[in-house]
């Protein structure tokens, strides 16, 4: 989709380590299989989150503090990830591949990688897709994420962000 490619191209996939990702999340509800949350560590940015049977966690949201969007995938398949280090990864949205730099995170001893992008509308573009597959720096498949319900949940996250004033 051209709009997604344009958004991804204009999104400087720049990363700065973020202090303690989501230490005290505030629950704002549950929509279409996704939790709607506010993260004070991201300037009261709103996000959607889902947890899978293998305890993988996926978050898509807004970093209001730095006026950018992001997604973070926590999954043991990442292997050795160190908090704050930068990794080259690839993600695929319904067959369209994107190379990105991701910042390492750890949540409850589970490694994660987060991609930040300046174009906050890219969050909506992700949610319009069906599947996001994420690959680690050695090309290993980390996980395929079923994005079912994410468009509806992002709609609520946007309303949440409006309520937060950013």
Instruction: Count CB atoms within 10 A of the CB of residue 147.
Output: 23
Distance CA(66)–CA(54), nearest Å, equals 31
Q: Of the candidates 98, 103, 132, which has an alpha carbon nearest to the alpha carbon of residue 115?
A: 103
Structure tokens of 57?
């966690």
Edge to edge, the sheet with strand 141-146 lists 26-31, 34-39, 45-51, 57-63, 68-74, 110-117, 96-107, 86-93, 131-135, 141-146
Give the model confidence (pLDDT) of 58-97 as tens digits: 999 999 999 999 999 999 999 999 999 999 999 999 999 9
- Mean pLDDT calculated for residue range 119-130: 87
Mean of per-residue pLDDT scores for the chain? 86
Where along the chain do its domains lie?
Answer: 2-164
Domain 2-164 matching CATH 2.60.40.1880: the answer reads yes
User: What is this structure's pTM?
Assistant: 0.84
């Amino acid at each position: 989709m051209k709009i997604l490619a344009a958004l991804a191209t204009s999104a400087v996939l720049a990363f700065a380590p973020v202090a303690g990702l989501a230490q005290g999340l505030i629950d704002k509800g549950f929509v279409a299989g996704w939790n709607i949350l506010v993260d004070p560590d991201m300037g009261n940015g709103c996000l959607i989150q889902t947890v899978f049977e293998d305890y993988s966690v996926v978050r898509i949201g807004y970093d209001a503090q730095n006026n950018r969007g992001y997604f973070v995938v926590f999954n043991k398949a990442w292997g050795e990830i160190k908090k704050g280090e930068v990794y080259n990864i690839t993600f695929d949205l319904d067959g369209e591949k994107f190379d990105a730099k991701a910042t390492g995170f750890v949540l409850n001893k589970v490694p994660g990688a987060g991609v930040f992008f300046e174009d906050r509308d890219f969050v909506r573009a992700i949610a319009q897709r069906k599947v996001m597959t994420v690959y680690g720096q050695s090309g290993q498949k980390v996980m395929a994420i079923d994005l079912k319900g994410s468009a509806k949940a992002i709609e609520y996250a946007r309303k949440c962000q409006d309520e937060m004033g950013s």
